[in-house]
């Protein structure tokens, strides 16, 4: 059990180191948005925290499926490696859908949502295959922490997951081939 | 269990690879079932990792598809998260810790909460809980580990999805449950059988159940001897299958797929399950399979009989056994083909004394009863019982047909 705990703690620490990195780098990204000095992408401005937390979906001013604060954080943290950035953006976008599109997840649509989520995970693991399993898990955790960062969002995420109960899902070879297809 | 399976697989690998080349035998659909200690996210990552691991093996092509069946994390575990959220609402200072805790659980599974609670004194995230709250939560999680109150409507929908996948008796189902998913798989297996799916096998990983698909022997499963979750459940409920492999940890990817001996054992169990499914596809009592060979034919194959699942471990030309390779019963009829169309095969029930004997003395057939196909007469042997094949033929290209 102690080993388990140590593993968990080490994962937390690795997650924290990822955010620590982001904290330093995010300061070079203009609060007003614009071209990122890290990735070269055009980023949205930093949203007002109160407004951003007022709704489940938060602020997505450029309508790219990523909450603006998450998009900026991902860029600051993973922007130096375009492939890795692509992997985490894809994964984060699916997690955002879990809560922002919960009303659209129905018995008829849930397989599509699930396949998109599986593609995102495959893509993430593919773009981070040089990382250890623990580091990969740490990154997924910190993306989860950043996306589901209020009790309301956690609640909705929880409700969203329930909708997939009993679903048989998987990717065909054709679907796997386009796992990292752009956003 | 594990060692026995390892030996069997050495014998059977040629047979199942041949069998899957047959046009009349469809490959099984491998279906991973998560346990309720896992979350949706962890289950999806598990599927991805499982496919990645399988893709690196020669057996990946053995499967028609590899899919995930989401096993809802309902019941006590689900309630626990609701309680955590409620606590954070009542106690704003706890919010940050609860959010972190639930997010860790979302990625690493609800089992991680159990691990953290069990080590409460060392974890600052849990400082907002009282000792009694933690004790209650641990007790609830322990109950949850064997939660099995599923409703049939879930299963009806699942059967429809299986049909949509193309699964059926000609395209069998191989369930691969992890943890409490094993209990779910056993119930699902019973339901599927009641709906006419007879061609089902299961390989359970870290199982808290006392059976695999209701069997009492030759069950395919891999459980670490130091799997804390399963050992805890075994301590409470007693009737849990014994562990069968040295190893630690309970998590599907981190502890079972990543651990070399565990992954090897899982692969071997899967291979044997595929062999069994191929055999069942042939239909009892003795249906047929065909396979081709260029020169030397390895006649290992698997069939089923009306008395249950049996294995034909080897086959030889009646008058001579001309070769055998280490570890695999390989009998070549080509060297001295005095009677090229007459062969003798041995079907030995698994678990029988003959089977045990065959494992250690597979090059010696004298102790096994066998049938002379040409005459239909059972030939005298010192002990044991066997089954006679109904017919067999070899064409000019060496293609063998056994009926």
Among A67-81, B32-46, B285-299, which stretch is predicted with the lowest mean pLDDT? B285-299
From A179, which residue of chain B is nearest by alpha-carbon distance? B48
The distance of A115 to chain B (nearest Cα, Å) reads 10
Considering only CB atoms, which chain A residues are within 8 Å of B112? 8
**DSSP annotation of B325:** B
Q: Could you say which of B118, B144, B170 is where a domain stops? A: B144
What's the mean pLDDT in A6-10? Answer: 45
Q: Could you say which of B263, B281, B299 is where a domain stops? A: B281
Q: Which segment, B248-252, B349-353, B363-367, is predicted with the most confidence on average?
A: B248-252
Do residue B206 and residue B259 come from a single domain? yes
Residue B202 pLDDT class (50, 70, 90 cuts): very high
Q: Confirm or reject contact between B87 and chain A (CB < 8 A).
A: no
What's the mean pLDDT in B284-308? Answer: 31
Do residue B202 and residue B259 come from a single domain? yes
CB contact under 8 Å between B69 and A167, yes or no, is yes
Instruction: Say if residue B142's pLDDT is above 70.
Output: no
pLDDT of residue A18: 44
**DSSP annotation of B328:** B
Do residue B51 and residue B191 come from a single domain? yes
Among B79-83, B214-218, B282-286, which stretch is predicted with the lowest mean pLDDT? B282-286
Mutation target to probe the B interface, by most B beta carbons within 10 A, among A170, A171, A179 is A170
pLDDT of residue B215: 81
The distance of A113 to chain B (nearest Cα, Å) reads 12
Tell me what ipTM this predicted complex has.
Answer: 0.83
Considering only CB atoms, which chain A residues are within 8 Å of B98? 151
Q: Could you say which of B144, B176, B203 is where a domain stops? A: B144
Instruction: Say if residue B363's pLDDT is above 50.
Output: no
pLDDT of residue B266: 94
pLDDT of residue B118: 66
pLDDT of residue A107: 92
Do residue B198 and residue B271 come from a single domain? yes
Instruction: Say if residue B23's pLDDT is above 50.
Output: no
Closest to B107 (Cβ–Cβ): which among A9, A122, A144? A144
Q: Which residue has the higher pLDDT, B310 or B2?
A: B2
Q: Give tens-digit pLDDT for B86-127.
A: 777 777 777 888 888 787 777 777 767 766 766 655 566 677
Do residue B163 and residue B271 come from a single domain? yes
What's the mean pLDDT in A136-149? Answer: 92
Instruction: Say if residue B347's pLDDT is above 80.
Output: no
Do residue B166 and residue B40 come from a single domain? yes
Do residue B214 and residue B253 come from a single domain? yes
pLDDT of residue B329: 27
Sign of CA dihedral A30, A33, A39, A40: negative
pLDDT of residue A182: 67
The token pair at B55 is 């893709």
Q: Give tens-digit pLDDT for B281-293.
A: 443 233 223 222 3
Do residue B39 and residue B171 come from a single domain? yes
Instruction: Say if residue B378's pLDDT is above 80.
Output: no
Residue A54 pLDDT class (50, 70, 90 cuts): very high
Do residue B254 and residue B294 come from a single domain? no
CB contact under 8 Å between A125 and B52, yes or no, is yes
Q: Could you tell me what percentage of chain B is helix, strand and coil, using 3-state DSSP and rounding each to the nearest 5?
A: 40, 15, 40
Task: Report in angstroms the alpha-carbon separations of A27 from A18, A46, A85, B145, B150.
Answer: 15, 11, 18, 45, 51
What's the mean pLDDT in B208-232? Answer: 86
The distance of A44 to chain B (nearest Cα, Å) reads 26
Domain range for B341: 289-402
CATH number, domain at B61? Answer: 3.40.50.1820
Considering only CB atoms, which chain A residues are within 8 Å of B56? none
Domain count for chain B, please give it: 3
Q: Which segment, B44-58, B85-99, B151-165, B180-194, is predicted with the most confidence on average?
A: B44-58
DSSP characters for B21-83? T-TTSPPPEEEEE--TTS-HHHHHHHHHHHHHHHHTSTTGGG-SEEEEE-----THHHHHHHH
Do residue B309 and residue B350 come from a single domain? yes
Q: Give tens-digit pLDDT for B168-182.
A: 666 789 999 998 888
Supply the mean pLDDT for chain B: 64
Considering only CB atoms, which chain B residues are within 8 Å of A4? 115, 119, 228, 249
Q: Which segment, A160-164, B14-18, B293-297, B312-316, is predicted with the most confidence on average?
A: A160-164
Mutation target to probe the B interface, by most B beta carbons within 10 A, among A141, A168, A171 is A168
Closest to B119 (Cβ–Cβ): which among A1, A149, A161? A1
Residue B361 pLDDT class (50, 70, 90 cuts): very low
Do residue B303 and residue B174 come from a single domain? no
Task: Look at residues B28, B70, B33, B48 and name the one whose alpha carbon lies nearest to residue B272.
Answer: B28
Do residue B180 and residue B276 come from a single domain? yes
Instruction: Say if residue A111's pLDDT is above 90.
Output: yes
Q: Confirm or reject contact between B187 and chain A (CB < 8 A).
A: no
The token pair at B249 is 């940890």
pLDDT of residue B270: 92
Percent of chain A exceeding pLDDT 90 equals 64
């Amino acid at each position: 059990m102690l080993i388990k705990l140590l593993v968990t703690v080490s994962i937390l620490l690795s997650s924290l180191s990822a955010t620590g990195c982001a904290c330093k780098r995010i300061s070079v990204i203009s609060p007003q948005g614009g071209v990122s000095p890290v990735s070269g992408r055009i980023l949205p401005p930093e949203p007002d925290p109160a407004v951003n937390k007022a709704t489940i979906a938060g602020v997505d001013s450029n309508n790219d499926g990523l909450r603006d604060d998450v998009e900026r954080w991902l860029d600051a943290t993973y922007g130096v490696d375009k492939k890795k950035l692509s992997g985490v953006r894809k994964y984060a976008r699916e997690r955002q859908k879990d809560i922002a599109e919960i009303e659209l997840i129905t018995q008829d649509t849930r397989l599509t949502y699930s396949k998109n989520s599986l593609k995102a995970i495959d893509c993430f693991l593919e773009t981070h295959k040089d990382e250890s399993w623990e580091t990969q898990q740490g990154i997924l955790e910190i993306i989860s922490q950043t996306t589901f960062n209020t009790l309301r969002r956690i609640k909705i995420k929880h409700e969203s997951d329930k909708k997939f109960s009993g679903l048989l899902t998987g990717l065909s070879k054709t679907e796997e081939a386009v796992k990292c297809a752009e956003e | 269990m594990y060692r026995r399976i390892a030996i069997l697989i050495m014998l059977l690998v040629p047979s199942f690879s041949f069998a899957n080349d047959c046009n009349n035998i469809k490959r099984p659909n491998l279906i991973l079932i998560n346990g309720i200690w896992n979350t949706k996210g962890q289950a999806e990552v598990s599927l991805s990792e499982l496919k990645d691991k399988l893709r690196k093996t020669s057996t990946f092509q053995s499967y028609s598809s590899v899919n995930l069946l989401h096993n809802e994390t309902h019941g006590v575990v689900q309630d626990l998260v609701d309680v955590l959220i409620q606590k954070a609402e009542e106690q704003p200072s706890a919010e940050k810790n609860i959010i972190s805790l639930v997010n860790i659980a979302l990625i690493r599974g609800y089992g991680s909460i159990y691990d953290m609670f069990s080590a409460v004194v060392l974890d600052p995230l849990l400082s907002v809980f009282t000792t009694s709250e933690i004790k209650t939560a641990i007790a609830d999680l322990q109950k949850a580990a064997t939660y099995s109150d599923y409703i049939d409507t879930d299963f009806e929908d699942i059967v429809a999805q299986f049909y949509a996948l193309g699964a059926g008796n000609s395209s069998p189902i191989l369930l691969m449950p992890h943890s409490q998913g094993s209990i779910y798989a056993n119930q699902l297996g019973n339901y599927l059988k009641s709906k006419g799916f007879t061609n089902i096998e299961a390989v359970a990983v870290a199982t808290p159940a006392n059976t695999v698909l209701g069997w009492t022997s030759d069950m395919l499963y891999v459980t670490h001897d130091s799997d804390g979750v399963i050992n805890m459940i075994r301590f409470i409920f007693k009737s849990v299958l014994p562990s069968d492999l040295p190893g630690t940890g309970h998590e599907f990817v981190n502890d079972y797929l990543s651990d070399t001996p565990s992954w090897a054992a899982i692969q071997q169990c899967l291979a044997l399950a595929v062999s069994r499914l191929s055999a069942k596809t042939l239909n009892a009592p003795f249906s047929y399979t065909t396979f081709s060979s260029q020169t030397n034919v390895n006649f290992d194959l698997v069939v089923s009989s009306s008395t249950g699942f049996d294995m034909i471990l080897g086959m030889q030309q009646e008058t001579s056994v001309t070769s055998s390779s280490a570890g695999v019963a390989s009998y070549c009829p080509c060297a001295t083909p005095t009677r090229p169309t007459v062969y003798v095969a041995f079907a030995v029930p698994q678990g029988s004394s003959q089977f045990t004997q065959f494992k250690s003395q597979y090059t010696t057939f004298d102790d096994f009863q066998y049938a002379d196909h040409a005459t239909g007469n059972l030939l005298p042997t010192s002990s044991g019982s066997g089954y006679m094949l109904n017919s067999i033929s070899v064409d000019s290209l060496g293609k063998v047909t056994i009926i």
